Every structure is written in structure tokens, then in C-alpha cells.
Structure 1
Amino acid sequence: MLKSRPDRYGAIAVSIHWLSAVLILALLGSGFRAANAMDAATKAGLLRFHIPVAIVVLLLTALRIVWWWRFDRKPAPVQASPRWQERLAGFADVVWRLRFRRRRCLMFGFSDLTQETQITKPARNWPVPRPIRRSTLCAKKAR
């Protein structure tokens, strides 16, 4: 039962799915730990784990696409689902798509525009010029 049947997924599709899920959880853990690491050696060690695992997840995703496209067919959708379940699935799909857009922005570095970086940190301590009152300007011109 390597391939999917009309009523259930096959062993290869299930294996790719769960292996990807476990690796993505490992990526989340190593990514957050690397982002919060103060020591450069610790950060480098975490990234030595993180980057190859990310490449493996990318390859598993490509394998999954090729598997569905060339070798297997997805099972038929479950018939007679309760209406509340279909609505909940639709809502979850919308939420997932919105979160994916946000992640895509984070992946490409757009989050740097909203986060404090080494370039913007010194600007926080610069003196902010006070607005000049009109009466002060007029008094200086009159002299």
C-alpha cells in the first residue's frame, strides 16, 4: 500500500508528510534558538544544523509535488462532512493563507523595516529638535 487508495493516503505520502512536519518543528526550535543566541559560536553551531535541515525540507516538498504529479493520486474528499466542519476548514484555510503571506514577507526581509537594527539603534539617542514657536521667530526678526 505504497500508493494512495481512493479512501486513504498511501505510505509514501504519509511518510513524507510526517517527516516534513517533524523537521519543520526542529527548524522552528533551532531558528528561534539561533536568533536569541548571544554567543557567535553557539549561533554558528545552530545554523550548521538549521540550514541543511531546511534544504532537506525543501527537497521533501519538491518530492511531494513530484509524487502527486507523476506517480500517485490524492484520495477523494470525504463525502457527507458536517456543515460546521466544512466552515471550520474554510476558516482555517483563510487563516493559514494569511499567515503564509506574513511568513513570505518575513522570509524576504521585509520585517527589517519594522524591527530595530544596528543602523537605527543610534538614531534613538539622537537629540530631537524642538519645534520653534512662531512668537520666537517674530521676536528675532523685530530685533
Structure 2
Amino acid sequence: MADKVYPPVTFEEFQPTSYEVWKEEAVTSLKGGDFQKKLFTKTYEGITLQPIYTKADMEYIQETSTFPGREDYLRGAAAAGYIADRWDMAQSVEGATPTQANADILHELKKGATAVNLTIGRKGVVLE
């Protein structure tokens, strides 16, 4: 079977639309469902993810042309970003005693963890 040749895609056939028009269509598609509850997602960190973003959403961001690793560290502390570093696999360890925490950490490291979030006792411990 010969490979099909597809024409180049152009977006001229699509008309630009406003957020209000998009929202109206989304509400219609929900068929009575609550727009806020269905399309906005709250993360564990308390950040609400919107279903669509516009240029107006960028207005509150003070500086978007900075480089990673430069002052105010808006884009991270590493100049190369995080591309060069592997991700850490962190495991939370809550040891009742330092001896128990040590045993738990060694176990987690043996199972593949590369970082540990350590809590000893109710208030945690400061490691210096």
C-alpha cells in the first residue's frame, strides 16, 4: 500500500474566538454540569488549573523573560534548568527513633529511592 500524501495543514479555516464564546460552548457541552466543578482542577498544592488560558492570565507574572538560575529564581535555581539532572524518587520516612529511621531509609534506598523526606518524632528533626 502506498503512503498517503496529506495536504499541509493551515488554520485559516478556524475563526479566532473569545474566552466568553468558548465558555458558552463549554457550558452547553456540560449539559447542566457545573462549569467550575467540572473544568477547574485544584492540585494538592492548592493551585487551581484552568481549562483554558489566555494572554490576560500572563499579566500578573512579573518577569517571563528571565533565565533559570538568575535572581529572583522565578524559573529555578539551576542555570541549565532541570534538563541535565535526573529526577529524584523521594520516599517519606517517619521513624519513631533515629535507629528505626536509619533502617527504614536503608530499606527505601535498596528498593530504588534516590531521596528521602525524613521526619522523626512529631516535630521532625534538624540535621546539621
TM-score w.r.t. the length of structure 1 is 0.17
Structure 1 or 2: more strand by fraction: 2
TM-score w.r.t. the length of structure 2 is 0.19
Structure 1 or 2: more helix by fraction: 1
Higher RCO, 1 vs 2 (CA within 8 Å, ≥6 residues apart): 1
Q: Which structure has the bigger radius of gyration?
A: 1
